[in-house]
Amino acid sequence: MPQFGQITPAQAFRLIGTPEAPVILDVRIEEDVTALPCMIPTSRRLSHKAISTLTDPPGRAIVACTKGKKLSEGAAAWLRTLGWQAEVLEGGNLAWEAAGLPMLPIATLPVPGTPWVTRHRPKIDRVACPWLIRRFIDPTAPFLFVAPAEVADVADRFSAIPYDIEGVQFSHRGEKCSFDALLDDFQLHTEALDRMALVIRAADTDRHDLAPQAAGLLALSVGLSRMYRDDLAQLEAGIALYDALYRWARDGHEEGHDWPAGRPE
């Protein structure tokens, strides 16, 4: 059981991927980052000496150093003086790694706030990918939707990461989707995200035999695309849809529904 002001890796990971996810601050020193060149999903680097410079509005935060000791304790205590509900990750990054929870390789991570760009009028993969990026990689990432012929040039001129178009890193690979490519390259495979990926792949590639939920996801995605002319408004509505799909994949995939229960055949 964690001590006062602490949270276990398992408890913290239950928050990541949800709209209630806290800010996660990695306050490790450089030599410790070199020894473990990975980061907890959505976490961002901030020197323990720079805590007082944090400009985010106060909310909930989890502070992680290497072992969950002096750097985390001091940084969390300082955050509390600024109005934050701050907790220390019990055992730090080493405990997270030991628990087998996903960590993002630093070498693959874009600078926080880097834009991503894809074709306009999204349906499935082009909404699922932003959800995954916002919830597990970079909560501050903006998304640009442009004419298909302009994606590559916009990526070049605006230093954006292109996705879900041919010939780029984060796109379809064989029978798998761009969502799968993100899971692979950012090492985000979990039971729940893999379950989501199968449904997304089945809906996006018209392989409804792979997952019975695919037809429903396709119907809802097409419906959203008809409801919204503004791609960004559609994206925000789609984020809520994928929040629900994630909670199904994580907590409710074995649940069925029948009414009235026990009715005769």
Residue 259, helix vs strand vs coil: coil
CB 87 within 8 A of CB 62: yes
What is the structure's pLDDT at 260?
Answer: 74
Each residue of 153-184: pLDDT tens digit?
999 999 999 999 999 999 999 999 999 999 99
Mean pLDDT across 121-125:
97
**Which pTM was predicted?**
0.95
pLDDT at 265 over 60: no
CA 128 to chain CA centroid, nearest Å = 10
Each residue of 234-254: pLDDT tens digit?
999 999 999 999 999 999 999
pLDDT at 259 over 90: no
pLDDT at 187 over 90: yes
Strands 38-39 and 104-105, sheet pairing: antiparallel
Q: Which domains does the chain have, with CATH numbers?
A: 6-103 (3.40.250.10), 110-252 (no CATH)
